Amino acid sequence: MNKYLDLYDFIDFAKGNRKYPENTANGLKSALKIFEKELNIDELSSIDLVEDNIDEIFVSVVGKNKDKSIGSLNTYKARVLKVIKDYQRYGANPSKIQGWNIKANKPAEPKQAHVQSLPIHVVDTPDKSQDKTQTALSEHINTPVHKIELSLRDNVKSVIIVPKDISAKEVAMFKSMLDSLVIEE
């Protein structure tokens, strides 16, 4: 019988065999940690039971993680199911990992910058980027920001991101930094 904790070793094994990049492996382990807290003794002893009960487990995970969005929790659920499927294919018999063909990600096509006729465009968007070096599960702090896009001249754009609660002192400091960047013509 395959235990839930075997999935952590499988992720390390797959990462060592270049089947999971490090960031993917870390994301999968984070998902396992969140779900592990809600498993009973029987589920910890059988990944098949976890797979069978995933919907009930997910309801419990949602109830205990009200600070996380449902979208994030659905992503964690999908990651847990992915690890289980990969483990069932390649982890139960480690020699099968040689036949595991990973899909190569194509580099993203660069997006064309949209230049508006107005020189300033303010978009209020939350800062969603997280520190990629974090491996342990930690509390995410979402800082509301103003994102200012300036079309300075043809094909030259500047993006400025400042906190919504910026003080007059911080604005003055920001202005002086910009003034120091001016190149005299």
- Last residue in a domain, options 49, 69, 99: 99
For residues 130 and 167, membership in a common domain is answered with yes
Name the domain count of the chain. 2
In a domain, 185, yes or no: no
Residues in the chain predicted with pLDDT less than 70, given as ranges, are 1, 103-143, 185
For residues 33 and 94, membership in a common domain is answered with yes
The model's pLDDT over 36-87, given as tens digits with 9 standing for 90+, comes to 999 999 989 999 999 999 999 999 999 988 888 888 899 999 999 999 998 8
For residues 42 and 127, membership in a common domain is answered with no
In a domain, 111, yes or no: no
For residues 13 and 92, membership in a common domain is answered with yes
Read off the tokens for 64.
């205990």
In a domain, 173, yes or no: yes
For residues 91 and 130, membership in a common domain is answered with no
> How far, in Å, are 17, 94, 125, 137, 146 from residue 171 at the CA level?
50, 58, 19, 34, 13
Structural domain boundaries enclosing 30: 6-99
